[in-house]
Amino acid sequence: MARKILAAGNWKMNMTPSQAAAFINDNKEAFANDEVDVLFCVPAIDLPAALAAAEGTNIKIGAENMYYEEKGAFTGEIAPCMLDDLGVKYVIIGHSERREYFAETDEIVNKKVLKALEHGITPLMCCGETLTQREQGVTMDFIRQQVKIGFLGISAEDARKVVIAYEPIWAIGTGKTATSDQAEEVCKGIRELICELYGAETAEEIRILYGGSVNGGNAAELFAKPDIDGGLVGGASLKPDFSKIINYK
């Protein structure tokens, strides 16, 4: 069975709750496509409003981050049980901005992935290299390390539930995009690593997204690649034109 394309939006620190609800309500018909899974990962404060606006539609709502403890003295953090209580079933983990600005390590990412799976929340685990790492030819070495540590202690059964998002850091918010062949090369390498770790069946089931200036003009070419199963989209997911990515065919 072919893997279903996932068009996932990462809103980052954009949109108030009222803006989030209005955006979804105004565009839900344009975003309707039963052949594509549609997901918006929104700021924590927007979750209730976004969930209410998306009710009864094909749009799923996810979080942009969560902590790996159930509760405690972790001011400002969000527990997985809080997301679960709201009905949130997706969460972005290990985005390059979290790694860079908030010092998240591969080990922290692993703890978060394990905790999300424990609560039945699908983690979108991010990985990606810098421009320097690409120019030095160590892209796959770096990506393999991120993925191997991120999946530490995860069973084959649970591994299939994880979505991996490959986002070259040099192509996020820069207007630069890896060519479809460059994106496919890394996504294929990730799938080969999953095959090494868990076997061919798990590798065939797991979804691998490409992120980095995905737009309506390049989505079809990217999503046509055999190892790219959709996109994790930043700025373009904040606009009605996101419908062009969802309806890429």
Could you report the per-residue pLDDT of 77-99, keeping only the tens digit for each? 999 999 999 999 999 999 999 99
pLDDT band at 122 (very low <50, low <70, confident <90, very high): very high
In 3-state terms the chain splits into helix, strand, coil percentages (rounded to 5) of: 45, 15, 40
Query: Between helices 139-150 and 106-118, what is the axis angle to 10°?
Result: 40
pLDDT band at 129 (very low <50, low <70, confident <90, very high): very high
Out of 95, 119, 129, 184, the active site residue is 95
pLDDT band at 45 (very low <50, low <70, confident <90, very high): very high
Which pTM does this prediction carry?
Answer: 0.95
- Give yes or no for residue 54 having a pLDDT over 70: yes
* Average pLDDT of the residues in 185-203: 98
pLDDT band at 1 (very low <50, low <70, confident <90, very high): low
3-class secondary structure, 92: strand
Higher-confidence position of 170 and 138? 138
Q: Give the whole-angstrom CA distance, residue 72 versus residue 97.
A: 25
Q: Give the whole-angstrom CA distance, residue 20 versus residue 42.
A: 8
Tokens of 3: 């893997």
Q: Where are the domains of the chain?
A: 5-246
Out of 97, 104, 129, 167, the active site residue is 167
pLDDT band at 170 (very low <50, low <70, confident <90, very high): confident
CATH architecture of 5-246: Alpha-Beta Barrel (3.20)
Please provide the DSSP assignment of 143-178 as one string. HHHHHHHHTTT--HHHHTT-EEEE--GGGSSSS---
Predicted local confidence at residue 174, as pLDDT: 72
Q: Give the whole-angstrom CA distance, residue 236 versus residue 244.
A: 10
Active site residue 119: no
| E strand map for the chain | 5-10, 36-42, 59-63, 90-93, 122-127, 163-166, 207-211, 230-233
Active site residue 95: yes
Region for 45 from its dihedrals, namely left if φ exceeds 0, alpha if ψ lies in -120 to 50, beta otherwise? alpha
Count CA within 13 A, CB hemisphere, residue 187. Answer: 29
Residue with tokens 């905790």: 115
